[in-house]
Amino acid sequence: MGLAGFGALAGRTAWLQVVDGPTLAAQAQAERTVTWVNRAPRGDILGRDGTILASSAVSYDIGVNQVKVAQYERTEVRTDPATGQAGNVVIGHGAAAAAQQMAEILGMDAQELGAKMVGDSTYVVIAEAVSPDTWRRINALAIPGVEPDQRTRRTYPAGSVAGNVLGYTYEGDGRTLIGSAGLELTQNELLTGVDGQGSVEVGKSGAIIPTGEQEEIAARPGTGVRTTINPDLQAVAQEAIDQVVQAQGADWGSVVVMEPATGKLLVLADSGAVDPARPADTPEASRNARSVQSIFEPGSVGKVITFAAALEEGTMDPQDTWTIPYSWTAANGQSFHDSHYHETQTLTSAGVLAESSNVGTVQIGEQLEDQVRYDYLKRFGFGQLTGIEMPAESAGMVSAPADWDDRTRYTTMFGQGIAGTALQAAQVLATIANKGVRVAPRLIDAWIDDDGNATPQQTPDGVRVISEQTADTLTEMLIGVTQDGGTAESASIDGYLVAGKTGTTEILTQEGTVASFAGFAPARDPAIAVAVIVYRPKDTYGGTVSAPVFRKVALAAMHTLGIAPDPGVIAAQAAAEADAAAETAQNESADEEG
């Protein structure tokens, strides 16, 4: 070789060492490096008492590279009896040897496992949802071609309790869980953590090179969400609404329980609630929260707003008297009648509300200008979003007075010609219970970071709708609705005063009615406001369909919140029962003498 040849070779060597050397070394290292993702646990969703309603667990799907596993040799250290020397002896080969070691750890049959590991695929899943501890035991076997796929799986320990509030998730690109409904959807960005990663250098056999580069970046869990929901009370409400929907052959039902002063929701229940772990088992129409999405005409619950406006504007007093025929015709020719036939009677304003008279209500509402009534409908929250932390909330429908025809002008007085949600119905009664101040409902109590630090949600600013005096007066009138002679005696609770209003509305788009009851308790020191909606029951009236559900849920709430019965109320109720029994006995005696 001439000097020119030696010069060229020396130049090429220098080039490889100085220029290509680092690049080639990096390529070689990359080929030896195995990387993985450390999945970030999704943040927990909790009940107000800390009960876990949704959580995440990191698990592994174990797969095998069948080509690599076929080359596996299982060795064992043995001593040669002739020489006394210890050495590695091959005692098994390929998939069969690998399966024999792994089967007991995985709780699988060795032959079935081995069959899954034979073939020419570079990745076949042989076990799913394996715990981290189990994977560590498998990994310690150092079998080449056995590879983990770390995944985060969502669990819902309470089953369907609050399922329509929680929502559910699906696995998106990169194995990341993505919220698909409820709080899982609206809080998805916060609940989603930040994945970490790791890497090691391995040799040709698949074993880790001790002196090779290793990197481990831990995952950062997502932010937790503590809700305002009381899981025990939620379970009671779901059972109660499921029972009445089934018994009545209704389409659906909802129960809302709200703290009037804070807006916090103790219950947001829908019949047939979805189990978030198995959403496909529930019809699509029932997977979301009808309590915030489905609208209906509130019916007589809407009368509460008419009475509130009349009291606040000074056009009506509880003791004013009204002549109430069964049927009444307005000056514009529109006729209205009460739900039950009766002779012409004289009722006070309080009596009109207690008996839920349509005729009396339109006479009272006629004293108010249309724009004034419209303003009160809006102030109580109809026709606008509450801002609840749930997807697809409906604002309901309230058209402007200019769009009211001759009949709608009157029907809006008793809750027809407008539409709202179960949540909005609860908000109306909660406003009265809160001395006339409307506080927007909320489902989130606090956000909790991965260090356990809680950031409470601030109570929304209240909006005064009516004066405290008007609220107190209307409360006394609403107490009469649940007393003897009112339309909702079945909503009364032993030892507690209840204020509320029944509602029964014909559905314009299909045959049937909506039966409702909305109220609060204890009436003069309210802790909760409750709305119960049953859509298209066999029976018609809110007093017979929805009021008993209110009673069951409200009584459970009194016990859960530790609110003792009022001795004065107990005595008054006992006296009323004694008077009623005496009157019955007297009437029976008179019948016998007759």
Q: Where are the domains of the chain?
A: 60-153, 231-563
Lowest-confidence region among 292-296, 324-328, 422-426, 488-492: 488-492
Confidence of residue 367 (pLDDT cuts 50, 70, 90): very high
Whether 191 shows a pLDDT value over 70: the answer reads yes
Architecture of the domain spanning 60-153: Orthogonal Bundle (1.10)
Dmax over CA atoms of the chain, in Å, equals: 145
Peptide bond into 325 cis (omega under 30): no
**What average pLDDT score do residues 6-11 get?**
48
Confidence of residue 3 (pLDDT cuts 50, 70, 90): very low
Rounded Cα distance, 304 and 299, in Å? 10
Lowest-confidence region among 210-214, 284-288, 348-352: 210-214
**What average pLDDT score do residues 481-507 get?**
87
Lowest-confidence region among 184-193, 243-252, 433-442, 506-515: 506-515
Stronger pLDDT, 515 or 508, i.e. the higher one: 515
Stronger pLDDT, 172 or 181, i.e. the higher one: 181
Quick one: three-class SS letters along 451-518? CCCEEECCCCCCEECCCHHHHHHHHHHHHHHCCCCCCCHHHCECCECCEEEEEEEECCCCCCEEEEEE
Stronger pLDDT, 301 or 536, i.e. the higher one: 536
Rounded Cα distance, 204 and 38, in Å? 24
Position 46 scores a pLDDT of 98
Position 32 scores a pLDDT of 64
**What average pLDDT score do residues 483-508 get?**
87
Whether 499 shows a pLDDT value over 90: the answer reads yes
Whether 568 shows a pLDDT value over 90: the answer reads no
Strands 146-155 and 196-201: unpaired
Stronger pLDDT, 216 or 451, i.e. the higher one: 451
**What average pLDDT score do residues 157-181 get?**
92
pTM given for the model = 0.84
Residue 42 amino acid letter: R
**What average pLDDT score do residues 543-553 get?**
94
Whether 12 shows a pLDDT value over 60: the answer reads no
Strands 224-227 and 45-46: parallel
Stronger pLDDT, 75 or 427, i.e. the higher one: 427
Confidence of residue 348 (pLDDT cuts 50, 70, 90): very high
Whether 439 shows a pLDDT value over 60: the answer reads yes
Stronger pLDDT, 315 or 213, i.e. the higher one: 315
Position 208 scores a pLDDT of 64
Position 7 scores a pLDDT of 47
Count of positions (residues) in the chain: 594
**What average pLDDT score do residues 407-434 get?**
96
Instruction: Report the share of the chain in percent with pLDDT over 70.
Output: 89
Position 6 scores a pLDDT of 47
Look over the chain and give the mean of its residue pLDDT values, rounded to a whole number.
Answer: 89
Position 31 scores a pLDDT of 61
How far apart, in Å, are the Cα atoms of 575 and each of 279, 478, 491, 551, 591? 52, 21, 19, 21, 24
Nearest to 358 by CA among 230, 466, 247, 487: 487
What is the CATH superfamily name and number for domain 231-563?
DD-peptidase/beta-lactamase superfamily (3.40.710.10)
Whether 29 shows a pLDDT value over 60: the answer reads no
Position 34 scores a pLDDT of 63
Position 566 scores a pLDDT of 83
Position 165 scores a pLDDT of 98
Confidence of residue 19 (pLDDT cuts 50, 70, 90): low
Whether 247 shows a pLDDT value over 60: the answer reads yes
**What average pLDDT score do residues 61-71 get?**
92
**What average pLDDT score do residues 160-188 get?**
93
